[in-house]
């Protein structure tokens, strides 16, 4: 099984099988079971490679985790199973979500070249000859930061967030008994016309302090990272990561949907969104983007 197939089967039926269904039912899902097992062995390989090659100094999250764990005294260090769980979270919670955000952002830029040009103007002005934006530059890239937030508003990669109501609670007119499963819909909240004018329109300016409606929404109206104590720990990291990657791309390329892919274009224009698929995240399905080098 390839890495992608293993992850796909883990993230689709695997969550249901491994997390919800009792273990005696697992024999009915041999392919999914194999997917989970293979995903785990890919993670194991990844960790053992990093452990053997600590000197490589790759400066990424996984290397830092593995090397700092190797320096701990035995009683304080994470077990291999705990490391695997962390790698799994980084890979899926962190990587897939940010990649989907980039995917949607590219798609919106293809549809609205004028937004692309505005971004290009900002990136070239702020970065000048520099290739890699640092944190100081990040704060100067205001339009880019607004566009990341707008992408997460219009296309929250995790469109609903499962919760368990531990004690009996009243929300408005509704009484929720204890142990009720509740799903927060970030998609719904972020397309609610009471808080977002023309919610189907992609408009980075919404997040600009000069906008008359800026920050007038209640706190639950923008929840791509959820809300409350269990809110995503990668929130800031991924907003920065997405803006930094996009800044580098925008500086070098213009983006277009391929002209010979009229089906995708027509569908996008007619329905306001392209065909989508949902595995862990809700993302455009089969989207191709042409990168045209800027002079
Ligand atoms: C655009 C990018 C991302 C989005 C949209 C996103 C979204 C979310 C959402 C909706 C949750 C559920 C929170 C809840 O249950 O209330 C979550 C949890 C989590 N995310 Fe993210 N995430 C992103 C990036 C990241 C990154 C980059 C990392 C780590 C490097 C990360 C690590 C986690 C972890 C560890 C949790 C579980 C937190 C807990 O249960 O306490 N996420 N994320």
Residue 86 token pair = 């962390």
Tell me the C-alpha distance between 129 and 132, whole Å: 9
Residue showing tokens 């719904």? 188
Whether 255 contacts 105, CB under 8 Å: no
Residue showing tokens 């045209």? 292
CATH placement of domain 79-293: 1.10.630.10
| 69-117 per-position pLDDT tens digit | 888 877 788 888 888 888 888 877 788 889 899 999 999 999 899 999 9
- Which pLDDT does position 239 carry in this prediction? 96
Asked whether 238 lines ligand 1 (CB < 6 A), one says yes
Whether 190 contacts 222, CB under 8 Å: yes
Asked whether 101 lines ligand 1 (CB < 6 A), one says yes
| 37-56 per-position pLDDT tens digit | 888 888 898 888 888 888 88
Asked whether 231 lines ligand 1 (CB < 6 A), one says yes
Q: Is pLDDT at 259 greater than 90 in this prediction? A: no
Tell me the C-alpha distance between 233 and 230, whole Å: 8
| Of 226, 218, 196, 243, the residue nearest 98 (C-alpha) | 243
Least confident of 142-151, 186-195, 256-265: 256-265
Asked whether 230 lines ligand 1 (CB < 6 A), one says yes
Tell me the C-alpha distance between 212 and 214, whole Å: 6
- Which pLDDT does position 243 carry in this prediction? 97
pTM: 0.84
Asked whether 225 lines ligand 1 (CB < 6 A), one says yes
* Residues written for the chain: 295
Counting from 1 in the atom list of ligand 1, the atom nearest the Cα of 241 is 27
Asked whether 14 lines ligand 1 (CB < 6 A), one says no
DSSP 278: E
CA dihedral (123, 125, 128, 132) in degrees, to 10, reads -20
The CATH 1.10.630.10 domain(s) of the chain lie at 79-293
Task: Report CA(94)–ligand 1 centroid distance (Å).
Answer: 7
């Amino acid at each position: 099984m390839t890495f992608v197939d293993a992850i796909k089967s883990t993230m689709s039926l695997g969550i249901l099988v491994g997390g919800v269904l009792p273990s005696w039912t697992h024999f009915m899902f041999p392919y999914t079971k194999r997917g989970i097992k293979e995903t785990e062995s890919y993670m194991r390989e990844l960790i053992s490679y990093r452990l053997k090659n600590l000197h490589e100094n790759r400066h990424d999250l996984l290397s830092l985790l593995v090397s700092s764990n190797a320096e701990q005294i035995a009683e304080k260090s994470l077990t291999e199973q705990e490391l695997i769980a962390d790698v799994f979270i980084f890979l899926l919670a962190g990587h897939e979500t940010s990649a989907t955000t980039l995917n949607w952002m590219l798609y919106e830029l293809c549809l609205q070249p004028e937004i692309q040009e505005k971004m290009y103007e900002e990136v070239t002005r702020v970065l000048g000859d520099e290739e890699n934006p640092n944190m100081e530059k990040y704060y100067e890239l205001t339009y880019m930061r607004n566009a990341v937030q707008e992408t997460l508003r219009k296309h929250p990669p995790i469109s609903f967030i499962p919760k368990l109501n531990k004690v009996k609670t009243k929300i408005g007119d509704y009484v929720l008994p204890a142990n009720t499963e509740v799903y927060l819909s970030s998609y719904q909240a972020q397309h609610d016309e009471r808080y977002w004018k023309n919610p189907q329109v992609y408009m980075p300016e919404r997040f600009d302090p000069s906008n008359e409606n800026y920050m007038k929404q209640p706190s639950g109206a923008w929840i791509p990272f959820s809300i409350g104590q269990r809110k995503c720990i990668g929130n800031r990291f991924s907003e920065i990561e997405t803006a930094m990657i996009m800044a580098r791309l925008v500086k070098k390329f213009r983006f277009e949907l391929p002209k010979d892919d009229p089906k995708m274009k027509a569908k996008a224009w007619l329905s306001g969104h392209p065909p989508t698929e949902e595995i862990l995240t809700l993302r455009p399905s089969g989207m191709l983007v042409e990168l045209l080098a800027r002079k």
